Amino acid sequence: MRSPAYLFTAWPWRSLLYVLTTLVTAALAWPLAIPLVPAVALIMALTGESTVEIGTALAVTSVCVAFYAAGAPLLALPLAILERYRLRLIRHEPVRSGHRMPPETGPWSWLITRYTESATWRAVVYGTLLAAVAPVFCLVALVYVGFAVALLLGPFLVTRDNAMQIVTFTIDTPAEALPWTPLGAVLLAGVPYLVGLTAGLHGLVATALLNEPPANANLHTELVEVSRSRARLVDGFEAERRRIERDLHDGAQQRLVGLTLQLGLAKLDVPGDSPAAASVARAHEEAKRLMAELRDLIAGIHPQVLTDLGLPAALRDLADRTALPVTVRSDLGERPAAQVESTAYFVVAEALTNAVRHGHARQAWVRAFRERGLLIVEVTDDGRGGASPDLGTGLTGLADRAAVAGGRMLLSSPPGGPTVVRVELPWVSASADAGAAS
């Protein structure tokens, strides 16, 4: 109803149909309101507003309540079924019944189950309210509509012999009724909102009494929270990886580079025929190998090129460092978010590692492209195939990493190859991710 396009949707008509059918269901539920009559008479007798004796009113009320308790569920149960179907007019979600299955077969088991569960008595309360309150609301709405129509058509309804009374004002001529016509038009324009409000309030009460939340509602909430906490843990893990990579790159690697340079200068200063020359040369070579291993370790933690230049450049750098020919094709346009880039990169790195170690591939192809709001990365190799998540935790880890980012991993690896690893991740642009973070 808050939408400016409310009048141009189907909701006013659905609400009107719901209100009109309420009159039918209220007529079916009228026996549930019968005990209210002696109850009111008893209250009036107790307050001295009635000439009926208190004992008589109390006896009649007790009998009516007894019959009500015995027979009301038999009427309220089918009425509740009808109301759950009728609520589909004004609700997106279905209304679920809270009735249990009887432990045994037979009418007595069914009656005992129904009369001892809360869903039945909530249906009784709803039927009583429907029979007692719904006609009042419908009468108010009818008076409102009649009043609006009378104001709108006042100049045609008022004649010399037929005057119109509006609260304390008496209208005797069409000229006096004409200024009230705009008010009638405004009130009549509000009829769809009045109908929607009436249907909405009725629907809230009916849903509160007749709807039984699913048994796994709390479980669903817990699963959502677990998914969010897992995403937070992964984000924290990625931030820690970047911190470690930055510390190693700016600290240990720079110091090792300096040590390698010093050893190189020392090798030049030491005479080649001296006993220390061989030891310095070996230390220099060992420092260079250690520097290369540290560089590979840093790249495995989080490559700096991925942060600086983005996913296409990082994939090309990864292809150059892989022990088999890799062809990289990327068509992304703009950069995705950092988490999406990181997930895609490490999936490709793990897939290429598996192709070398387990697939014995001779060549591989990597494609990264954007399609229908997804970042899609495909890694294909010409290895022997037969890859399966059951054979190790590598592929399972890839699937878990994609799932944390809201995506999925698809695998095709028939015996004899080729093996295709396809990861689909929701596309989040780097600019939108930066805006959300700020």
Query: Mind listing the pLDDT tens digit of every residue in the chain (438 residues)?
Result: 788 888 888 888 988 899 888 888 888 887 777 766 665 555 665 666 655 566 665 666 666 666 666 677 887 888 888 888 888 888 877 777 777 666 666 667 767 777 778 888 888 888 888 888 888 877 888 888 888 888 888 777 776 667 776 766 677 777 777 878 888 888 888 888 888 888 888 888 888 888 876 555 455 555 556 556 655 665 655 666 666 666 665 666 677 777 777 777 777 777 767 777 777 777 777 777 777 776 666 665 667 777 778 888 888 888 888 888 989 998 887 888 877 888 888 888 888 888 888 888 889 999 998 888 888 899 998 888 887 776 665 677 778 778 877 888 888 888 887 888 888 888 877 665 555 554
Q: Would you call 299 helix, strand, or coil by DSSP?
A: helix
- In sequence order, what are the residues at sequence separation of 6 or more whose Cβ sits closer than 8 angstroms to the Cβ of residue 165? 171
Beta bridge partners of 410: 422
Domain ranges of the chain: 6-210, 225-301, 305-437
Alpha carbons 199 and 163: distance in angstroms, whole number: 35
3-state secondary structure 266-297: HHHHCCCCCHHHHHHHHHHHHHHHHHHHHHHH
Asked whether the beta carbons of 1 and 41 are under 8 A apart, the reply is no
3-state secondary structure 120-133: HHHHHHHHHHHHHH
DSSP-assigned letter for residue 250: I
Alpha carbons 314 and 304: distance in angstroms, whole number: 8
Asked whether the beta carbons of 361 and 383 are under 8 A apart, the reply is yes
Half-sphere exposure of 88 (CA within 13 A, CB side): 7
Q: Would you call 422 helix, strand, or coil by DSSP?
A: strand
Asked whether the beta carbons of 376 and 422 are under 8 A apart, the reply is yes
CATH of 305-437, one of 3.30.70.360, 2.40.10.10, 3.90.105.10, 3.30.565.10: 3.30.565.10
Beta bridge partners of 369: 331, 376
Q: Would you call 342 helix, strand, or coil by DSSP?
A: helix
Alpha carbons 379 and 352: distance in angstroms, whole number: 8
Alpha carbons 350 and 422: distance in angstroms, whole number: 12
Asked whether the beta carbons of 414 and 402 are under 8 A apart, the reply is no
